[in-house]
Amino acid sequence: MAEITRERFKVIGKNTKSMESISRPNIGYWQDAWRRIRKNRIAFFSLCLIGLYILLAIFAPMFSQYDYSTQNVNEMSQSLSSKHWFGTDALGRDLWVRSWMGARVSLTIGFAASIINACIGSILGGISGFYGGKVDMLIQRIVDVLYGIPSMIVTILLMVVIGNGVHCLIIAMCMVGWIGSCRFVRGEVLKLRESDFVAAARILGVPDMVIIIKHILPNVMGLIITNLTMAIPGAIFQEAFLSYIGLGIKPPGCSWGVLAKEGIAQLRIHPYQVVVPAVLICTTMLALNLLGDGLRDAFDPKLRGTE
């Protein structure tokens, strides 16, 4: 057995810098989420579909020879053709243009109402959760009371009071719609407030505002966005519902709800007139729900690397 002597060992050099270097590119939270959402085929397809709908809503009415409100007695209730891609309705209006004009209204309401709700809810929920105490008490009592009130009833009454139209719909939906996001943001912030990294920041003397913006917000953001995606179908549903019972968008303006309502009147004779808006509404809902599911998984750090 060979003797082990000290001479047989030598230092071959140690580079403290290279030891600490990260061999693979650093992937941030958002990059990671984006990477995973792209890998999730269903969610990515949903994202593309929604993008396509938005583009069509913006450009389709611009590049069509027809106008969404011009009636044409000679071309009433024509089925799908190369001239009218989605056919025409009972008053001879081109459904392709009307569908995308409706998309403008429905999508605007859906996105605007949900985003405003998420903002109000996050701010109030954030304040309530972060500061606690009397402010929290006050906000939570208001939320408790408002939560018990059926939101549809308040929305209906507000619609009747402040009138019809896109702005009114959005305002009416925002009066009570922020409560859901307020509750859940508060819960999240309460959890994070006690976490170690916030405690560390506090010990280092970071002011409250910076803690909220730099440390807490990025951690809640993923959840807020997921919730937002899930809230948009709800808002579009609500708009369709209100327009359907005659309180939302008034003719000749159109939204998907109005189109569905007009289509249902023709259901027995011209079923395609309800199929077109129905398919548009359903695919949008479907895409947003699936995208929401995908986002939830993508933003969940626990699921990282499981796929």
Does residue 157 touch other proteins according to CB under 8 A?
Answer: yes
Does residue 259 touch other proteins according to CB under 8 A?
Answer: no
Q: Output the six-digit token pair for 150.
A: 């059926």
Q: Which helix (H) or strand (E) holds 85?
A: none
Binding-site member from 268, 302, 305, 306 for other proteins (CB under 8 A)? 268
Residue 194 is classified by DSSP as T
**For the window 47-86, what string marks contact with other proteins as x by the rule CB under 8 A?**
----------------------------------------
**For the window 130-149, what string marks contact with other proteins as x by the rule CB under 8 A?**
--------------xxx-xx
Block residue for tokens 């719909």: 169
CA 211/CA 232 separation, integer angstroms? 29
Least distance (Å) between residue 257 CB and other proteins: 8
DSSP assignment of 10-63 equals ------HHHHH--SSPP--HHHHHHHHHHH-HHHHHHHHHHHHHHHHHHHTTTT
**Amino acid making up residue 270:** H
Does residue 222 touch other proteins according to CB under 8 A?
Answer: no
Binding-site member from 90, 91, 154, 225 for other proteins (CB under 8 A)? 154
**For the window 160-189, what string marks contact with other proteins as x by the rule CB under 8 A?**
xx-x--------------------------
CA 230/CA 236 separation, integer angstroms? 11
CB–CB of 198/220 below 8 Å?
no
Which residue ranges make up the site for other proteins (CB under 8 A)?
144-146, 148-150, 152-154, 156-158, 160-161, 163, 233, 237, 240-241, 244-247, 260-261, 264, 267-268, 271, 274, 277-278, 281-283, 285-286, 289-290
